[in-house]
Amino acid sequence: MNRRKFLKNISLASVSALAFNSIPLNTFASRFVKLALTGNSDRVLIFIQLHGGNDGLNTVIPLNQYSEYYNVRPNIALPYTGSRQILTLDSTLPDIQLAGIHPDMVGFKEMYDAKKAAVVQNVGYENTSMSHFRGRDIYFMGGGYNDYFDSGWLGRFLEDEYPGYPDSYPNTDNPDPLAIEFGNNATLALHREEGIPSGIAISNPEGFFDLVNSVGGNYPDTFPDSYYGNELEYLTSFERKTNQYAERLQQVYTNGTNSPSIVYPTKYPLNAPPQYSYNGLSEQLRIVARLLSGGIKTRIFLVRLTGFDTHASQVETYDTSMGRHAALLYHLSSATKAFFDDLKLQNLDEKVVGMTYSEFGRRVYSNAGYGSDHGKAQPVLLFGPGLKGGVYGENPDLNNLDGGNLRYTVDYRRVYASVLMDWFGASETAMNASMFGEHINNRLDLFSNPLSSKSINSNGSYELNVFPNPAVSEINVQFTTNAGSTYFVAVYNMQGALVSTLGSGKSHSENCLITFNISGLSQGSYICSVVSDSIKRNAFFQKL
């Protein structure tokens, strides 16, 4: 199902002749179009890898258990008072959620206060692997501790969204890579069930410039019938596909820009080992921002910040608020803040969400080397104005550990399922293809304008639910709005053209359930859009 053109072709002319509760719709047209366009599915995910295993307990600190926190890691615990004290994330939270963040995460704090950042606590999975390689594979493949998939959750999602890859791509509608990863190769996350990954890899920011300046090359036409030949054919296909995109990337990058008033931070301003002082994330995000500015249609970017394997010298011995881990969190927070500020000045920030991932957390107890060893559960940080913001889940319980490690309470696949279904609008078919089907009904309520057919509000009721789905002759549109609100319900095709005005009126209660006849629609996929004074929601459905 291709949703990438959702509402792109809406114009004032296409709705001006309609009526909104007996009032000509052109009275509301500009507002309606603005609301509808914010729900388009040209949405982008920035998947931020914290390579090495981030110490989540020194990233998001349980303030309601500060004494216990200090007692289990006295030589690396962050100070509760003083000029470099823990930043209280949100003083309005209940005690069980009252958390602080590292004092060098000022950028994250500013985004959180603006409801542009969120924290999901205690993320993990059953029998969490504390191996770097196995841990990364599990988070990339989207499986459990005893699963061994040859494909990744992002690769399977993209394969469902863009059938026929790679042979049919690039094309007019999809001229850009489906995904771009900064790294030495395409990780398991982007691998499809068969064949080359659903994206290209760029070794580093310098590698990006090498790529766009070195297009071309001669490739062999035949390959030996052997394991070596198969591997050579795979690598050649991958390189050929990468070079196909190089000229386009050069064009997009040239057409794009970075906001001149935004400075991407390059160095940690306090004390840390020199090799960790340089901000390796800033240049990656700066390139992504410029590509987005240039009109790239890539859906997923994987970026990487390394150095989180902090077995020793995690902090400065004379000041636990500085050092290696402090520098890394500063890099993450400051680079991400600059990135979204850059996008905001170019009116691009509404379409982008960022999410962190690390192969595991760190052990609760510190070691004698002023560090922390491999652990289990960890917080996930999310960034972007499309979020509702806030803290999801409760603080870790430091009196109820899993063999010296934090216990997970949120399966990581619930977070990923929420991103796919509510941010990207993945269908149930796509969710099953991604192997997250069992998490459809327990995903998290992360996004302010979800694209799923069931968008759940904070009290558990549905803000928009379209059923049955698929439908034959009738659909039920269930939504939650303010009593007395004026609403408008319409159907658009997958090219964004208005095909049916289902109805409009005033709601008599907060919970509305209206049945519409759709027998006049042709067989296919559609978007049902509900706009009122208090909500703007879109849901995909199929007509049989």
CATH number at residue 526: 2.60.40.1930
> SS3 sequence, 155-201?
HHHHHHHCCCCCCCCCCCCCCCCCEEEECCCCCHHHCCCCCCCCCEE
Q: What is the pLDDT of residue 21?
A: 32
DSSP assignment, residue 306?
E
Q: 169 and 256 share a domain?
A: yes
Q: 159 and 265 share a domain?
A: yes
Amino acid identity, residue 15?
V
Residue 2 lies inside a defined structural domain of this protein: no
| Contact yes or no for 157/437 (Cβ under 8 A) | no
Angle between helices 324-345 and 106-113 (to 10 degrees): 40
Identify the domain containing residue 511 by its residue range.
12-40+451-543
Residue 179 lies inside a defined structural domain of this protein: yes
| Contact yes or no for 378/124 (Cβ under 8 A) | yes
Residue 189 lies inside a defined structural domain of this protein: yes
Q: 516 and 425 share a domain?
A: no
Q: 156 and 298 share a domain?
A: yes
Residue 239 lies inside a defined structural domain of this protein: no
| Contact yes or no for 323/271 (Cβ under 8 A) | yes
Q: Which structure tokens are listed for 86?
A: 């823990």
Q: What is the pLDDT of residue 458?
A: 45
Report residues of the chain scoring pLDDT below 70.
1-41, 204-223, 227-242, 452-462
Residue 63 lies inside a defined structural domain of this protein: yes
Q: 286 and 348 share a domain?
A: yes
Q: Per DSSP, what are the bridge partners of residue 542? A: 525
Residue 45 lies inside a defined structural domain of this protein: no
Q: 27 and 132 share a domain?
A: no
Alpha-helix runs per DSSP H in 56-143:
66-72, 106-113, 132-141
Q: 205 and 271 share a domain?
A: yes
Domain count, the chain: 2
Q: What is the pLDDT of residue 240?
A: 62
Residue 441 lies inside a defined structural domain of this protein: no
Q: 254 and 112 share a domain?
A: yes
Which residue from 115, 86, 111 is spatially nearest to 100, judged by alpha carbons? 86
How far apart (Å, rounded) are the C-alpha atoms in residues 276 and 326? Answer: 10
Q: What is the pTM of this model?
A: 0.77
DSSP assignment, residue 328?
H
pLDDT in tens, 508-531: 777 888 889 999 999 888 888 888
Find all residues with CB under 8 Å of 448, minimum gap 6, and list them: 386, 387, 388
| Domain end (from 410, 435, 460) | 435
Sign for the CA dihedral angle at 289, 293, 294, 299 comes to positive
Q: 304 and 328 share a domain?
A: yes
Q: Per DSSP, what are the bridge partners of residue 527? A: 492, 540
Residue 36 lies inside a defined structural domain of this protein: yes
DSSP assignment, residue 471?
B
Q: 327 and 364 share a domain?
A: yes
User: Cα 133 from chain centroid?
Assistant: 22
How far apart (Å, rounded) are the C-alpha atoms in residues 179 and 68? Answer: 43
Please count the helices (runs of H) and the strands (runs of E) in the chain.
13, 24
Q: What is the pLDDT of residue 211?
A: 60
Alpha-helix runs per DSSP H in 346-436:
412-418, 428-433
Q: What is the pLDDT of residue 227?
A: 61
| Contact yes or no for 174/223 (Cβ under 8 A) | no
Find all residues with CB under 8 Å of 165, minimum gap 6, and list them: 158, 159, 178, 192, 198
Q: What is the pLDDT of residue 526?
A: 85
| Domain end (from 365, 400, 435) | 435
Q: 178 and 322 share a domain?
A: yes
By DSSP bridging, strand 511-517 and strand 474-480 are antiparallel
Q: Which structure tokens are listed for 346?
A: 């170019």
| Domain end (from 435, 464, 495) | 435
Q: 36 and 57 share a domain?
A: no
Q: How far is CA 506 from CA 466, 510, 514, in A?
A: 19, 11, 12
Q: What is the pLDDT of residue 462?
A: 54
Helix or strand (DSSP H, E) at 240: helix 227-255
How far apart (Å, rounded) are the C-alpha atoms in residues 386 and 450? Answer: 9
Q: What is the pLDDT of residue 393?
A: 95
User: Cα 421 from chain centroid?
Assistant: 11
